[in-house]
Amino acid sequence: MTTLRRICSTLLAAAALCGVFSLVLAPDALAQGCAMCGTAFIKDDPVTRAFNWSVLFLIAMPYTIFGLAAGWLFLAHRRRGRHRAEVIAMPVTRPVPAPATGPEES
Amino acid sequence: MTVGALTVPRRPVSTTPDVREPAVSNTRLAIVIVITAESMLFAGLIGMFLVFRLSQNWPPPDLPRLPVGITALNSVVLFASLVPLTRALRGARAHDGTGRGGVKIAALLGGLFLTIQGVEWLRLLAHGLTPGSSVYGGTFYLLIGTHGLHVLVAVVWLTVLAVLERRARRGWNSWAGLEMCTLYWYFVCGLWAVLFPLVYIY
């Protein structure tokens, strides 16, 4: 396994573990929400719902955009590496020139 | 020794990276960074629009309705400009002269899109939908106006490329600028595919 793949696997595993631990160990913290939003907005109000959707959209957008760009870069490098491997593995054939024939020495 | 083909065994692989040609060219990387930054700008504007759109009666009953039909036709004009531009880029990469004139056609179609948008805006202003009339007008002109500004920049860029293409009679010497402009045009058209349903239809 290449170093880059090993690093990516480690980072993914660490991110997954952090996500699992934060969900399992912090259920009370998740229920509290934002103090400003909790005091400023009325429950079941269209404005509250609108802000909720807008905040969710804005939270998702940086990860989506940068994830797409990073994914494209990753795939471009991978495609390039595969192409290089194919070029290197290609057998090279070249015709061997016929030996020069001249008058036989007596 | 026999005459024939000789198979050479696999040559040793160099451990030093090939620095002559990166996997992603600098021009592509630069325009992707610009597009990423512009996407974040529009994400903020769309987030702002969503707050107002979802929190009140939309559209307000006393304000003029947006011209959905004519703008839908205008959208077809914009998306149609992708075809000649893509053909021009492919022809430039292949050096076979196909798609010549595609940049000019894309620039003309982009200009037509902006002209029709401008005419519709003048009609809306005459009917009372101004940026200061309400949140409805303000968000509409801000969101669509920002997109229009990006289209204007792209049309100017396309026009410059069309002039350069006309001067280079034997084809493109370097198509990096054309590639960057084409990617930016894809972004502008993709953005309109999101903005039109969100602002005009939803």
**CB–CB contacts below 8 A, A to B:** 84
Interface of B with A in 36-65 (CB under 8 A): 36, 39-40, 43-44, 46-48, 50-56
- Averaged pLDDT in 10-residue chunks for chain B of 202 residues: 52 53 83 94 95 86 88 95 93 81 94 96 91 90 96 96 82 80 95 94 86
Asked if B40's CB is within 8 angstroms of A98's CB, the reply is no
Question: ipTM of the assembly?
Answer: 0.76
| B170 in any annotated domain | yes
Q: For position A27, what pLDDT does the model report?
A: 60
- A92 pairs with which residues across the strands? B8
Contact B92, B178 (CB under 8 A): yes
d(CA B111, CA B119): 12
* Helix B102-126 × helix B135-167 angle, to 10°: 160
Q: Is residue B124 part of a domain?
A: yes
In a domain, B42, yes or no: yes
Whether residue B103 is contained in a domain is answered as: yes
Q: Which of chain B's residues have a Cβ under 8 Å away from the Cβ of A95?
A: 3-6
Residues of B (162-201) whose Cβ lies below 8 Å from A: none
Question: Count of domains in chain B?
Answer: 1
Please give the pLDDT value at position B46.
95
Cα distances from A14 to residues A22, A26, A42, A69, B163, in angstroms, run: 12, 18, 38, 22, 53
- The reply to whether B161 falls in a domain is yes
Q: What is the pTM of this model?
A: 0.75
Q: How far apart are CA B61 and CA B138, in angstroms?
A: 16
Q: Give the CATH number, domain containing residue B143.
A: 1.20.120.80
The answer to whether position B21 is within a domain reads no
Q: Judge whether B10 lies within some domain.
A: no
Q: What is the mean pLDDT of residues A14-40?
A: 69
* B68 belongs to a structural domain: no
Give the rounded distance of the alpha carbon of B93 from its chain centre.
20
A102 at B interface, C-beta within 8 A? no
What pLDDT, on the 0 to 100 scale, is given for residue B26?
A: 86
Query: Beta partners for B6?
Result: A94
Domain enclosing residue B186, as ranges: 27-55+80-201
Contacts of B191 (CB under 8 A, 6+ apart): B42, B147, B150
